[in-house]
């Protein structure tokens, strides 16, 4: 499997959210995209899934430019390239198993899916996936009745139902508490290693990127400023990615980098030392 | 991956089978009721649905063919009917305004979580139900009897009905509003008026105005109809034109064209107003 991103840009008005980004991913692996809010990480992932159209450039998968796909071909690509969202993006009033079965929308006829008429084989597979992620008991519950961590696992189950080569995860743990965040990251890592899929995840925190990723891409102001292994991600490099000064402390990023930058001076002033 | 079938799987499968069975029964029942209901309705008809169906276009054809022969009159008729159109629009606008104002007060008083006197909610709700239940034309007829014909009875009648209709929609929109800003305003010691006006109103304003504008369109039609019972406006002209038939169908076409144009214009401007409200809503 080969995914090439070639000079891709996304322009909003006069501002480039993603600015001339190029990289190549081969084989399977866990790729982390890091950078502060507004660095263009989400836009990049949304362009990979074709949720957002790119302004310029090419994204080649096995030689085909997926940015030029239209209609049914585009939907076929979206079915092969699953997406997991920060806010889970499930249908809250439908039951968990139905939400997982939505992963097959691109492969079944419109009429049967509209009436929720799935074959027993499909339902059994959905339940198997839920069982694998440890939430089979929740199958008949409404998605909105589940905790955030469970909902995110349902979203991952929906992605697995698509049986995709690539799973895109847009800030999959940013809305979760530390324990659930760990469960979700372990799940993503497991489906990546056990099934040999590629996972591309936007991550907010450095320690998560170091712990789970095989490769890390650092973005700043829409550009790729780092592309390497987690070992190469030193404090100096991190400072560069986040645009922080010497007061940048690694420990603080494990919760949130956003609060750090504008607040350090203020905190020093308030504490008076 | 576990190969043994999880107990949850068979449980879920039987649940789905049961759901589908019930769904199938309901659909079959619905189809039977629909078919038999149609027969009953058709039997009670003076004529018959299938016998009369092919004649459905006869009346419109007559109107249009007559208007087509007299097409030269149309521009003059447009000008002739504009004053009564304005009267109809005025009745609709004033009654929508008063109805919406009263409806917002009743909506806040009858919304769970926001009501000033929670125990009184059923009273306000029932009063709105009554306002909705009484048709405009009944109120208008009573008021015309008491006050004499003219636009005022029509305005009161429409405003009364509008209050009930908008009050319910407004209250439902307010129920879905986020309660957090209200808690914030309560925490600083704001009173009921301040909490509702500053905390809830900015949230519901786009929705409310879109309901009110839709109601304005409905009220234009309602005020045209009330002209039939003697409240003036374009409805009165329409009644005259339709009633004496022979030779006045060009007027009917002119009136309907004017109404159509008016409603299109109102729709166009209310669309833009709504879009602007939703965009600028967060700064309100």
pLDDT at B244 (0 to 100): 58
Confidence label for A206 from pLDDT (cuts 50, 70 and 90): confident
H or E element, residue B170: helix B151-175
**SS in 3 state form for chain A?**
CEEEEEEEEEEECCEEEEEEEEEEEECCEEEEEECCCCCCHHHHHHHHHCCCCCCEEEEEECCEEHHHCCHHHHHHHHHHEEEECCCCCCCCCCEHHHHHHHHHCCCCCHHHHHCCCCCHHHHHHHHHHHHHCCCHHHCCCEHHHCCHHHHHHHHHHHHHHCCCCEEEEECCCCCCCHHHHHHHHHHHHHHHHHHCCEEEEEECCHHHHHHHCCEEEEEECCEEEEEECHHHCCHHHHHHHHCCCCCCCHHHHCCCCCCHHHHHHHHHHHHCC
Ranked by mean pLDDT, which of A83-92, A237-246, B68-77 comes out on top?
A83-92
Confidence label for A268 from pLDDT (cuts 50, 70 and 90): low
Check residues B174 and B250 and name the one with the higher pLDDT. B174
pLDDT digit string, tens, across residues A100-134:
999 999 889 888 888 888 999 999 999 999 999 99
Tell me the nearest-neighbour CA distance from B257 into chain A, angstroms. 41
pLDDT at B225 (0 to 100): 86
Backbone φ, ψ for residue B40 (5° rounding): -60, -45
Distance in angstroms (rounded) separating the CA atoms of residues A248 and A239: 7
Distance in angstroms (rounded) separating the CA atoms of residues A67 and A71: 12
β-bridge mates for residue A84, sequence order: A169
pLDDT at A246 (0 to 100): 66
Chain B contact for A130, CB < 8 A? yes
pLDDT at B189 (0 to 100): 87
Q: Which two tokens stand for residue B47?
A: 């004529």
A149 Cβ contact list (under 8 Å, min separation 6) = A176, A177, A179, A180, A181, A183, A184
pLDDT digit string, tens, across residues B106-154:
999 998 888 888 899 999 999 999 999 998 889 988 988 888 888 889 9
State the Rg of chain B over Cα.
26
Q: Searching chain B, which residue's CA lies closest to the CA of residue A133?
A: B1
Helix, strand, or coil here: B3?
coil
DSSP conformational letter for B195: I
The residues of B whose Cβ lies within 8 A of any Cβ of A are: 1-2, 5-6, 8-9, 11-13, 15-16, 20
β-bridge mates for residue A220, sequence order: A223
Distance in angstroms (rounded) separating the CA atoms of residues A30 and A200: 6
Q: Which chain B residues are within 8 Å of A137, Cβ to Cβ?
A: 8
Distance in angstroms (rounded) separating the CA atoms of residues A234 and A216: 12
β-bridge mates for residue A166, sequence order: A81, A198
The pTM (predicted TM-score) of the whole model is 0.74
pLDDT at B280 (0 to 100): 59
Q: Tell me, what's the ipTM?
A: 0.71
Confidence label for B2 from pLDDT (cuts 50, 70 and 90): very low
Reported for B142-149, long-range contacts at CB under 8 A and 24+ positions apart, including other chains, are B144/B229, B144/B230, B144/B231, B149/B230, B149/B231, B149/B232
Q: Count other Cβ atoms within 10 Å, centred on residue A130.
A: 27
Q: How does DSSP assign B227-281, residue by residue?
A: GGGT--SHHHHHHHHHHS-TT-HHHHHHHHHHHHHHHHHHHHHHHHHHHHHHHHG
CATH code, residues A2-271: 3.40.50.300
Which site among A136, A161, A187 would you substitute to test the B interface, given the most B Cβ atoms closer than 10 Å to its Cβ?
Answer: A136
Which residue of A118, A120, A137 is in closest CB contact with B8?
Answer: A137
pLDDT at A265 (0 to 100): 61
Q: Count other Cβ atoms within 10 Å, centred on residue B191.
A: 10
Tell me the nearest-neighbour CA distance from A10 into chain B, angstroms. 24
Which residue of B6, B13, B15 is in closest CB contact with A131?
Answer: B6
Q: Searching chain B, which residue's CA lies closest to the CA of residue A122?
A: B13
Distance in angstroms (rounded) separating the CA atoms of residues A125 and A134: 14
Q: Which two tokens stand for residue B168?
A: 């319910």
């Amino acid at each position: 499997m080969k995914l090439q991103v070639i000079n891709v840009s996304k322009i909003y008005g006069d501002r480039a959210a993603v600015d001339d980004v190029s990289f190549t991913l081969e084989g399977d692996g866990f790729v982390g995209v890091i950078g502060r809010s507004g660095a263009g990480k989400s836009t990049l992932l949304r362009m990979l899934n074709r949720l957002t159209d790119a302004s310029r450039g090419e994204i080649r998968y096995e030689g085909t430019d997926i940015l030029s796909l239209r209609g049914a071909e585009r939907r076929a690509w979206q079915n092969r390239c699953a997406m997991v969202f920060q806010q889970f993006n499930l249908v809250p009033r439908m039951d968990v198993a139905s939400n997982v079965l939505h992963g097959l929308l691109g492969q079944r006829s419109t009429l049967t899916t509209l009436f929720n008429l799935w074959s027993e084989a499909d339902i059994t597979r959905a339940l198997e996936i839920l069982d694998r992620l440890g939430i089979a008991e929740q199958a008949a519950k409404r998605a909105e009745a589940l905790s955030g961590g469970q909902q995110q696992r349902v979203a991952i189950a929906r992605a697995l139902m698509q049986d995709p080569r690539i799973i895109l995860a847009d800030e999959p743990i940013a809305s979760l508490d530390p324990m659930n965040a760990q469960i979700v990251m372990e799940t993503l890592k497991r489906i990546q290693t056990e099934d040999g899929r590629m996972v591309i995840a936007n991550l907010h925190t450095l320690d998560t990127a170091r712990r789970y990723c095989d490769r890390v891409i650092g973005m700043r102001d829409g550009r790729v400023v780092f592309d390497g292994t987690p070992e190469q991600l030193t404090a100096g490099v991190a400072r560069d990615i986040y645009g922080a000064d010497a007061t940048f402390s690694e420990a603080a990023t494990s919760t949130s980098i956003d609060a750090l930058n504008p607040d350090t001076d203020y905190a020093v002033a308030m504490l008076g030392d | 991956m576990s190969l043994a079938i999880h107990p949850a799987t068979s449980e879920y499968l039987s649940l789905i089978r049961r759901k589908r069975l019930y769904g199938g029964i309901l659909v079959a029942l619905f189809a039977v009721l629909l078919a038999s209901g149609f027969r009953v309705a058709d039997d009670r008809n003076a004529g018959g649905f299938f016998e009369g169906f092919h004649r459905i276009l006869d009346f419109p054809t007559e109107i249009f063919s007559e208007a087509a022969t007299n097409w030269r009159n149309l521009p003059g008729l447009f000008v002739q009917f504009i004053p009564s159109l304005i009267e109809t629009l005025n009745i609709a606008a004033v009654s929508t305004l008063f109805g919406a104002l009263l409806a917002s007060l009743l909506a806040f008083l009858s919304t769970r979580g926001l009501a000033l006197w929670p125990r009184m909610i059923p009273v306000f709700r029932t009063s709105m139900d009554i306002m909705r239940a009484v048709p405009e034309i009944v109120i208008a007829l009573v008021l015309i009897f008491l006050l004499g014909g003219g636009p005022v009875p029509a305005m009161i009648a429409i405003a009364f009905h509008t209050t009930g209709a908008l009050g319910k929609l407004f209250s439902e929109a307010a129920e879905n509003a986020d309660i957090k800003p209200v808690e914030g305003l309560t925490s600083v010691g704001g009173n009921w008026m301040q909490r509702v006006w500053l905390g809830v109103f900015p949230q519901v304003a786009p929705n409310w105005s879109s309901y009110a504008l839709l109601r304005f369109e409905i009220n234009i039609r309602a005020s045209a109809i009330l002209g039939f019972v003697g409240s003036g406006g374009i409805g009165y002209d329409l009644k005259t034109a339709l009633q004496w038939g022979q030779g006045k169908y060009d007027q009917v076409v002119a009136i309907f064209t004017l109404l159509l144009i008016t409603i299109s214009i109102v729709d166009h401007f209310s669309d833009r107003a709504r879009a602007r409200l939703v965009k600028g809503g967060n700064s309100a």
